[in-house]
Amino acid sequence: MRYAAAALAAVLFTTGAAWDPEEPPSAVSVKVKPGTSKGTGKLTPIAGADRLVAPLGVDPACPATIKIGMRSDARKPAYATMNVEVDPPLTASRTMLTSYLPPGYELGAKLLVAVPPETKEGTYGLRLRTTDKTLSVPVDVMPVDRLDNGGNLALRRPVTASSQHTNANYPPCSVVDGDRSSNGWAGGNGWNDATARAWPDTIAVALGGAKQISRVDLYTLDTERYPASRYGVRDWDVQAQVNGQWQTVAQVRGNTAGNARSDFAPVTADAVRIVALASNGANDYTRIIEVEVR
């Protein structure tokens, strides 16, 4: 036990920022908050949001996610434990968060909440429980048609891709999960195709019926470590499926930015497809974080 505590303490003091952008979603990261311990002796659960919306019928590879964690206002470093409970039939990716934790420190992790297909609409309970406090986060289970999509017709709709790289977590559904951020690359937040230097690669989003559209925003991989100018998509066509036929409605060439907006004359389409033609990298894969359709 003593050895384990020392090893974890070393991790705590070298890890740096919480919610490390390069950490996979299941990883635990720790944030230093110097001098902020309130000295109350309490261990407080924390959550990244007041509520969680968990859509029904989405690809299980892209479950609803929420940041969870705990902060220690203990007087001395100690092992801290928080239990995670969710009302059935929902399931959570972890039942417990535990770590050696000095006073003033915050421990965070990403929690995935899965909604089995037979789940009824409604509000379910998610509880984060320490010995000192229970934090309740309501989980709203609803069909995709009732989501507040902010006008983005692609949000949480079905996605099909020409291929998917399998050496890490690159599910096609991640391009419509509502998260435009490249943080957590290879951990389920973006799509990487499987055919290096072979083009085109395609990814299509069904819109759930014929919708009038005139704009597509594409977010490609772009972080400090993986800048779009070296890892992002460079050339692509935006296509709309109109009366069963794919039409090219916009073209992007020479892109080096993290995102690009394409506006076009309105069409009534059932689906939108990105036809990727080239990337900026030497190994040339298609890497897309998010596609939004309006």
Three-class secondary structure of residue 119 per DSSP: coil
**Closest to Ca ion by CB, 44 or 152:** 152
Enclosing H/E stretch for 212? strand 201-220
Q: Among 44, 130, 162, 174, which residue sits at the site for Ca ion (rule: CB under 5 A)?
A: 174
**Cβ at position 186, least distance to Ca ion in Å:** 13
- Rounded Cα–Cα distance for residues 16 and 170 (Å): 26
Sole residue written with tokens 């229970």: 134
Q: Among 23, 106, 177, 193, which residue sits at the site for Ca ion (rule: CB under 5 A)?
A: 177
**Closest to Ca ion by CB, 175 or 250:** 175
**Closest to Ca ion by CB, 6 or 257:** 257
Three-class secondary structure of residue 113 per DSSP: strand
Question: Please, is 148 exposed, middle or buried when counting C-beta atoms within 10 Å of its C-beta (0-12, 13-18, 19+)?
Answer: exposed
- DSSP 8-state class, residue 120: P
**Closest to Ca ion by CB, 104 or 188:** 188
Binding segment for Ca ion among 52-60, 61-69, 110-118, 169-177 (CB under 5 A)? 169-177
Nearest residue to 106 (alpha-carbon basis) of 53, 157, 50, 32? 32
Contact 57, 119 (CB under 8 A): no
**Cβ at position 79, least distance to Ca ion in Å:** 35
Q: Is residue 220 involved in binding Ca ion (CB under 5 A)?
A: no
Q: Among 23, 106, 179, 237, which residue sits at the site for Ca ion (rule: CB under 5 A)?
A: 179
Interaction mask 120-159, Ca ion, x per CB under 5 A: ----------------------------------------
**Closest to Ca ion by CB, 97 or 175:** 175
Binding segment for Ca ion among 54-62, 85-93, 170-178, 259-267 (CB under 5 A)? 170-178
Binding segment for Ca ion among 20-28, 139-147, 157-165, 171-179 (CB under 5 A)? 171-179
Residues 37-96 that bind Ca ion (CB under 5 A): none
- Rounded Cα–Cα distance for residues 126 and 52 (Å): 9
Nearest residue to 173 (alpha-carbon basis) of 189, 185, 186, 162? 189
Residues 251-290 that bind Ca ion (CB under 5 A): 289-290
**Closest to Ca ion by CB, 177 or 284:** 177
**Closest to Ca ion by CB, 129 or 180:** 180
**Cβ at position 120, least distance to Ca ion in Å:** 27
Mind giving me the DSSP string for 18-51?
Answer: SS-TTS-TT-EEEE--TT----S--EEEEES-S-
- Rounded Cα–Cα distance for residues 249 and 267 (Å): 9
Count of CB atoms situated within 10 Å of the CB of 164:
15
- Rounded Cα–Cα distance for residues 155 and 161 (Å): 16
The residues that touch Ca ion, with contacts defined as CB under 5 A, are: 174, 177, 179, 289-290
